[in-house]
């Protein structure tokens, strides 16, 4: 062991003649411990909520969606070569299942109550392959035939609908000509066969499902065409890679490819921003504790001036003196960081296993505060804490290195 590290350990762990310096050092280590633990706990909570949100969204959204490019001509907003496109996509081993989907806005009317919804037309045999709709049916059954419709729980509540009620569905196709010629909108009378709950107000209040044939008739889409081709993968983590493969296989001037993340980019950007804001705010706790180390080291340098003078007289160089006090500060910070990581891990593990912090299930869809441990959080928090400690330790260690032995030993 080099003598710089040996002396740093002695200075950091031994009792000093000035007890208040020891108290400052202990409080500094405790401050870093609390700051690191708080950071890990908060980031784990963000991870937990992100996991819950992702689970809800991915349950209903496809892992990858292929649609007609929005820059295409307005008359060709549908994919007209679904069979050929399917043959190309099926070559990818990461793709678990796929289905053509017809998705357009429509108006649902129950008595005199109208609602604009996103109406999705999909074959009943395909719906479970690319969507979690089948597992989310709250009442009724998953029936998608030429006379049936499935709607969300919030939409059913707003329209006062129960299983067996009828809905009139109006298509907006061709309505742009209403100012120049008499137009009769396409309409269908459908029976509500099922009501689903996706645990997402946007989905539950604005989505409805019907059969492929009904949607083709309402939206005037020819056979063999669809608005999107939706894919489910063996793992959602493969989505970025599969997107790149599809981009190299398909003509990107005709097709637009979105992953599950791309479909909710704004939401995930906000969540990521919140993570960074929480990280910056809580790292200030560590910063305050780090500058307590600055104070403790500065006082230690004054207390140990005689020792510094003796070391220099014995041949120690300035860089060696600086390393002693830099190591001392880093050692204090390291002890606090390790203790904080252990404390944070313990709190998060206890919450995950026992759910001490509960949530009101009448308001939230989960019974307890969700948490998720990620090793990258431990790395980021530890690096941030140690950088602050190193910055706070630099100036006192540099001052120690500038001590003149003649002045330090003058009265000895």
- The predicted-structure confidence for 356-372, as pLDDT tens digits, reads as follows 888 877 777 778 888 88
> Does 40 lie in the same domain as 126?
no
**Final residue belonging to a domain, choices 196, 224, 259:** 259
Whether residue 3 has pLDDT greater than 60: no
> Does 304 lie in the same domain as 181?
no
> Does 202 lie in the same domain as 96?
yes
Structural domain boundaries enclosing 392: 3-57+267-408
Mean pLDDT, residues 77-101 taken together: 86
Task: Provide the pLDDT for residue 294.
Answer: 77
The contacts found for 10-13 with CB under 8 angstroms, 24 or more apart, are 11/300, 11/304, 11/324, 11/325, 11/328, 12/328, 12/331, 12/332
- Tell me the per-residue pLDDT of 26-67, one tens digit each, with 9 for 90 and over: 777 888 898 899 999 999 998 888 888 887 777 778 899 998
Task: Provide the pLDDT for residue 5.
Answer: 56
**What is the total count of domains within the chain?**
2
Query: Are the CB atoms for 153 and 138 separated by under 8 Å?
Result: yes
Most confident range, picked from 21-25, 174-178, 371-375: 371-375
Paired tokens of 337 = 């960081």
Burial letters for 36-66: b for 16+ Cβ neighbours within 10 Å, e otherwise?
bbbbbbbbbbbbbbbebbbebbbbbbbbbbb
> Does 145 lie in the same domain as 115?
yes
> Does 282 lie in the same domain as 205?
no
**Final residue belonging to a domain, choices 206, 235, 259:** 259
Q: What is the mean pLDDT of the chain?
A: 81
> Does 170 lie in the same domain as 93?
yes
- 């999107």: which residue's tokens? 228
Whether residue 24 has pLDDT greater than 80: no
- The rounded distance, in Å, linking the Cα atoms of 194 and 188 is 17
Mean pLDDT, residues 184-194 taken together: 87
Paired tokens of 3 = 């003598």
- The rounded distance, in Å, linking the Cα atoms of 396 and 385 is 18
> Does 388 lie in the same domain as 357?
yes
**Final residue belonging to a domain, choices 231, 259, 287:** 259
The total number of residues written for the chain in this structure: 412
Paired tokens of 393 = 């330790």
> Does 18 lie in the same domain as 87?
no
> Does 242 lie in the same domain as 349?
no
> Does 199 lie in the same domain as 310?
no
pLDDT band at 347 (very low <50, low <70, confident <90, very high): very high
Whether residue 342 has pLDDT greater than 90: yes
Higher pLDDT among residues 115 and 179, named by residue: 115
> Does 80 lie in the same domain as 96?
yes
Strand, helix or coil for residue 164: coil
Whether residue 250 has pLDDT greater than 70: yes
Query: Are the CB atoms for 147 and 190 separated by under 8 Å?
Result: yes
> Does 187 lie in the same domain as 99?
yes
């Amino acid at each position: 062991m080099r003598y710089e590290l040996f002396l740093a350990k002695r200075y950091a762990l031994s009792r000093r003649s000035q007890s208040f310096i020891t108290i400052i050092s202990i409080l500094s280590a405790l401050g870093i411990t609390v700051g690191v633990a708080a950071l890990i706990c908060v980031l784990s909570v963000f991870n937990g909520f992100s996991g819950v949100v992702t689970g809800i969204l991915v349950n209903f959204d496809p892992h990858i969606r292929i649609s007609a490019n929005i820059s295409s001509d307005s008359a060709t907003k549908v994919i007209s070569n679904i069979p050929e496109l399917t043959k190309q996509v099926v070559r990818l081993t990461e793709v678990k299942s796929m289905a053509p989907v017809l998705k357009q806005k429509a108006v649902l009317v129950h008595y005199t109550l109208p609602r604009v919804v996103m109406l999705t037309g999909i074959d009943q045999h395909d719906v479970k392959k690319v969507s979690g709709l089948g597992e989310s049916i709250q009442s009724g059954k998953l029936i998608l035939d030429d006379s049936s419709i499935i709607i969300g729980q919030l939409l059913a509540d707003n329209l006062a609908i129960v299983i067996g009620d009828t809905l009139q569905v109006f298509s907006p196709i061709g309505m742009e000509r209403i100012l120049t010629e008499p137009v009769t909108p396409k309409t269908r009378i459908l029976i509500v066969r099922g009501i689903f709950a996706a645990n997402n107000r946007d989905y539950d209040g604005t989505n409805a499902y019907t059969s492929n044939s009904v949607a083709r008739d309402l939206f005037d889409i020819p056979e063999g065409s669809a608005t999107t081709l939706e894919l489910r993968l063996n793992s959602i983590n493969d989505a970025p890679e599969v997107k790149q493969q599809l981009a190299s296989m398909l003509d990107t001037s005709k097709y637009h490819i979105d992953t599950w993340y791309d479909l909710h980019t704004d939401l995930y950007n906000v969540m990521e921003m919140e993570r960074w804001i929480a990280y910056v705010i809580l790292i200030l706790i560590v910063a305050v504790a780090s500058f307590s180390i600055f104070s403790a080291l500065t006082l230690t340098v004054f207390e140990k001036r005689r020792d510094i003078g003796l070391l220099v007289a014995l041949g120690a160089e300035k860089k060696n003196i600086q390393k002693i006090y830099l190591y001392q500060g880093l050692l204090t910070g390291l002890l606090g960081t390790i203790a904080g990581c252990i404390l944070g891990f313990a709190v998060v593990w206890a919450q995950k296993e026992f759910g001490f912090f509960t949530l009101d299930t009448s308001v939230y869809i989960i019974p307890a505060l969700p948490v998720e441990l990620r090793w990258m959080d431990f790395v980021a928090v530890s690096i941030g804490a140690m950088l602050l400690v190193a910055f706070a330790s630099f100036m006192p260690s540099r001052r120690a290195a500038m001590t003149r032995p003649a002045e330090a030993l003058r009265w000895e």
